[in-house]
Amino acid sequence: MGWLYLLVAGGFEMIGFIGLKRSSERETWGNYLLMLGAFAVSLTLLSMALETLALSVAYTVWAGIGTVGAVTLGILLYKEPISPMRIISIVGIITCIIALRLID
């Protein structure tokens, strides 16, 4: 169950990043609530995942999901440039997350 909590926490972290970007573009209560609410749910689920998963693995996977998600959302939603180094970096992060999952 911890892995499920962790994956969903990563999803809410990405939603929080959308709220963060929207808040930086336009300061509204809705944008702030989206950001803070999503990050609060994400951290709560991360805490629940830590009940069964090692801190080193859970935090690294959670941060990796957020990092890859933020880059992907930036490319898809905000027209940030795609470069070979971005792709290589994303593949590297995903490879490390998979490796951590396999050793846990």
The residues, ordered by sequence, that sit 6+ positions from 98 with a Cβ below 8 Å of its Cβ are none
Output the CA angle 14-73-44, nearest 5 degrees.
Answer: 0
Chain segment 89-104, per-residue pLDDT in tens = 999 999 988 887 787 6
Which tens digits make up the pLDDT trace of 2-31? 999 999 999 999 999 999 999 999 999 999
| pLDDT at site 10 | 95
Cβ contact 9:42 at 8 Å: yes
Return the CA Rg of the chain: 15
Q: Which amino acid is at 64?
A: G
